[in-house]
Amino acid sequence: MKNLKIEPVRHPDQIINYWKKEKLVVAFIIIFGLGYNISAILGPIYQGKLINALLRGDKLSSVAMLAVTFMVLIAAIQLMRYLKRFYIRRFANSTSATMRLMIYNNIVNKSYVQLENENTGDLMTRALSDVDLCVEGMRKFTTEIFDTGVLMSSYFIAMLYYDV
């Protein structure tokens, strides 16, 4: 995080601009989010294949190959999950820092007369609590899109494919 560059955002009152500012991070979130949630359905499928191979009494070599494939698949799924979560947190941290910069900049550039009319508690709430709530909402929204929308769509498509 020490290389995190905090730069102002045009039109900081529009949430979409914070997404636009972090294009590369958002691209990684999309790539790893899709990868994780689409491949997450493969875990139970390969687990079932492995159990079926054991119950059928398949050769040890084919069961071992399925077991290794299953373990590699689970490791890849968990790596994509880690990377998705890493980039979501990175986006949240960067957005939080940028929002705070914009609020502090706004406060510092107010005139003395404008600041006299402000309550100290309101300024602190805006700088701390409001930013945290907004960023947490953005983070949860991103997570829920993938963990609910993409994952459920993947399960639905898999069920259609397997004709359940």
Structure confidence by residue, pLDDT tens digits, 73-123 = 999 999 999 999 999 999 999 988 888 888 777 777 777 777 777 777 777
Of residues 24 and 108, more confidently modeled: 24
In this structure, the dihedral spanned by the alpha carbons of residues 30, 35, 38 and 41, taken in order and rounded to 10 degrees, is: -140
Which residues contact residue 18 at a Cβ distance below 8 angstroms, ignoring those fewer than 6 apart?
A: 9, 95, 98, 99, 138
Amino acid at 89: R
Note the pTM of the prediction, 2 decimals.
Answer: 0.78
**Spatial separation of the C-alpha atoms in residues 78 and 117, rounded to whole Å:** 52
Rounded to the nearest 5°, which phi and psi values hold at 85? -65, -40
Domain boundaries, the chain: 17-162
pLDDT band with cut points at 50, 70 and 90 for residue 164: low
